[in-house]
Structure 1
């Protein structure tokens, strides 16, 4: 089976080295390139076409949010996993809105980062417990800037709603497919339909929107 191909984009050489060392200890992950800033990172992603981009937030020349926008525009199949020291909601949301599929803090254990790479590659969202708690609190108290009104045509089918509940549990396409007794391609269709109906760009935004609208709760 082909390994998960990863590009690391971080301005700290020691961080890049540490990430490479423990990621490559995993048999199913291959680090194909590193970059010290957003501009170089976008260029490498366009060249290497990786599965996953580990992306820092604050870097010289081009920061993580702008780099994420460029990567989503030019290499939409590359999934972005933000990994940073910044855990405030005003740092998290711009990265998620730019298209990141996950957000971790750099103090996460190596095993947690490896698991997050695998989760995002499998089509799930990957958020650390601390980040999830901040997002849900912000969503349920109005800290996330979304309208209380869903767009026209927002109502989900029964199967889409089942898929939504599974997404809120952080499950991958394969896990959702097993749970609702459907194929992975059908699950992908349901997820795409929810994003289109709710006018959001990724799974994390689906979960935020659902929490803000009271469709799921995280007690």
Structure 2
């Protein structure tokens, strides 16, 4: 039998958090192992139990969601962070995507959309999905307009891609940069999405052509 997908739910609204936990626990392959009103109170449990997915609200009093995500990434690097909130701001969405979240869902999203987002973060095939109140959109599409290119690579993404260009494996990259292999994989997914790349070599070639990394770095191909 496949091990259940473990989930942490962090939301300061007690009734909503309880309803969300109850809904998730009805699924045979998903279970809530951490239930907390704030990141501050959840962090030690997240660090100890290392859930597969952390569901996090944006507007928790006294907390900055960016710092909360950084703290979760440090405490449990292999946990995917899924934002579920009533708050909508495209600039914030992009900021949080740059921090490596696995998805951003408005609380009007369907039960099926939420469960799909949770399951998609553990099977290795899930794509980052943004669900705003009007419709679900791909990561690089604006709610009120056509698809637009994703932003440039972050400094960390350039570091990761530079290591890829040196023909390092994910494990070697993780060791060199002091991060987990799961974090390396998340960075690579973001790099591939931003560059429309289909392989590691393709990503390196595209980044080199765009002068995002030095051509002297590459040992691939």
Alpha carbons 1:10, 1:35 under 8 Å: kept? yes
Counterpart in the other structure of 1:127? 129
Q: Which has the larger radius of gyration?
A: 2
Could you list the per-position Cα deviations for residues 156-201 of structure 1 after superposition, in whole angstroms to 9, with x for gaps in the alignment? 99xxxxxxxxxxxxxxxxxxxxxxxxxxxx9x88xx9xxx9xx995
Counterpart in the other structure of 1:161? none
TM-score relative to the length of structure 2: 0.65
- Secondary structure at the residue paired with 2:82? strand
Larger relative contact order (CA 8 Å, sep ≥ 6): 1
Alpha carbons 1:136, 1:211 under 8 Å: kept? no
TM-score relative to the length of structure 1: 0.66
Tell whether 2:207 aligns with 1:202: no
Gap runs ≥5 in structure 1: 158-185
Q: Distance in 2 between matches of 1:112 and 1:46?
A: 27
Count of aligned positions: 183
Counterpart in the other structure of 1:18? 19
More helix by share: 1
Counterpart in the other structure of 1:71? 72
Counterpart in the other structure of 2:81? 80
Q: 1:113 to 1:203 in 2, by over 3 A?
A: farther
Could you list the per-position Cα deviations for residues 118-147 of structure 1 after superposition, in whole angstroms to 9, with x for gaps in the alignment? 0012132341454534633499546x5426
Aligned-residue offset at 1:207: 4.9
Gap runs ≥5 in structure 2: 175-180, 198-202, 207-221
